[in-house]
């Protein structure tokens, strides 16, 4: 018995950090949406009870450090599953990029194994389990576009933004999310940019969405890796309607409404970094 599941990347249209929690996490409020750059998980049921993970990229862990492996182990333990699974992950999403590639793989594994192992769990139940694996996993379980609160695990789905192109550009640097949060100075009296983004989306106002892009982590990551700022400037100078870093970085995304500008922005970025992608937002229907 086999299943294949797509695992789309996400971008943060807004990311507010509201404060530090007693459990060590940060309280956040953010609007996330998916783009059509996806990993693919092929799952095959095993009769020996083992969990085996293989990757198209050899430098990535395929053992207990892998989030898809952890998702399988969580379901197997929690529901006393006797089946095993072989998981092959075709990686297309850049690694450690602020695009939730690992979290999306975990969500895809949860959904695929729910079917493959005939567990009969609801999306809400899968999202609760996903929160045990990582803060972005519940959003990736639901997909589409959502307002996320708490440490990211509370999800309120909202309409998709109006259709547009998205350019993703990842510079060849690594970013530690933990280090970024440690260096962040929190302004607890700031305006909720996520509320402004939700309002813009409900009004289907593309120009307002572009004006409302915000990432509280961006200035911290830019201070460590100034090349990210240069990518943003190049995106805007070459025709992107707006540009912002996603998550804790280092990937920068640019929004483009008119397809005629797409190649110009794409080609301008190709000279800056090797990992550049031209993708689209995933609509509500696709999600």
180: left (phi over 0), alpha (psi -120 to 50) or beta: alpha
Burial class (CB in 10 A: 0-12, 13-18, 19+), 116: buried
Higher pLDDT, 153 or 285: 153
> For position 6, what pLDDT does the model report?
97
User: What pLDDT does 182 receive?
Assistant: 84
Quote the strand ranges of the chain, DSSP E. Answer: 2-20, 26-46, 51-55, 84-90, 145-149, 154-157, 165-170, 214-215, 242-245, 252-256, 275-280
Each residue's pLDDT tens digit, 123-150: 999 999 999 999 999 999 999 999 999 9
Q: Sorting pLDDT into bands at 50, 70 and 90, what band is 272? A: confident
When pLDDT is averaged across residues 69-97 and rounded to a whole number, the result is 97
pTM: 0.94
Tokens of 124: 């809400």
Paired strand residues for 166: 255, 279
Which pLDDT score is estimated for 24? 76
pLDDT at res. 284: 64
Q: Match 């700031």 to its residue by tokens.
A: 190
Q: Of 76, 136, 170, 232, which residue is the catalytic one?
A: 136
Do residues 156 and 144 make contact, with C-beta atoms less than 8 angstroms apart?
A: no
10 assigned to active site: yes
Nearest to 112 by CA among 56, 145, 72, 65: 72
Q: What is the pLDDT of residues 48-74, one digit of tens each?
A: 999 999 999 877 889 999 999 999 999
Of the candidates 10, 29, 111, 170, the residue annotated as catalytic is: 10
Q: In the structure, what pLDDT confidence band is assigned to residue 189 with cuts at 50, 70 and 90?
A: low
- Residue 48 phi, psi dihedral angles, 5° rounding: -95, 0
- Cis bond upstream, residue 203 (ω within 30): no
210 SS3 class: helix
* Average pLDDT value over all residues in the chain: 94
Q: What is the pLDDT of residues 216-257, one digit of tens each?
A: 999 999 999 999 999 999 999 999 999 999 999 999 999 999
For residue 174, the surrounding DSSP H or E stretch is none
């Amino acid at each position: 018995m086999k299943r294949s599941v797509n695992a789309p990347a996400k971008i943060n249209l807004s990311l507010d950090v509201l404060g530090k929690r007693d459990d060590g996490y940060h309280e956040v409020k953010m609007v996330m949406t998916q783009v059509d750059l996806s990993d693919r998980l092929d799952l095959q049921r095993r009769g020996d009870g083992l969990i085996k993970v293989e990757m198209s990229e050899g430098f990535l862990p395929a053992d207990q450090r892998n989030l898809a492996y952890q998702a399988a182990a969580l379901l197997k333990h929690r529901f006393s599953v006797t089946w095993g699974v072989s998981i092959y992950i075709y990686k297309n999403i850049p690694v450690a990029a602020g695009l939730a590639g690992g979290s999306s793989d975990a969500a895809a594994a949860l959904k695929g194994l729910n079917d493959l192992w005939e567990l009969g769990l609801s999306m809400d139940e899968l999202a609760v389990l996903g929160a045990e694996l990582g803060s972005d996993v519940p959003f990736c379980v639901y997909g589409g576009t959502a307002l996320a609160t708490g440490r990211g695990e509370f999800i309120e789905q909202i309409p998709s933004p109006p259709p547009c192109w998205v350019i993703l550009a990842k510079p060849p640097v690594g970013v530690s999310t933990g280090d970024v949060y440690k260096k962040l100075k929190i302004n607890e009296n700031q305006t909720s940019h996520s509320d402004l983004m939700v309002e813009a989306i409900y009004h289907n106002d593309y120009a307002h969405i572009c004006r409302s892009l915000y990432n509280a982590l961006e200035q911290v990551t830019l201070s460590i890796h100034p090349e990210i700022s240069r990518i943003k400037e190049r995106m805007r100078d070459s025709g992107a309607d707006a540009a912002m870093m996603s998550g804790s970085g280092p990937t920068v995304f640019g929004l483009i409404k008119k397809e005629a500008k797409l190649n110009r922005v794409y080609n301008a970025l190709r000279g800056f970094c090797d990992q550049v992608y031209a993708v689209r937002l995933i609509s509500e229907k696709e999600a």
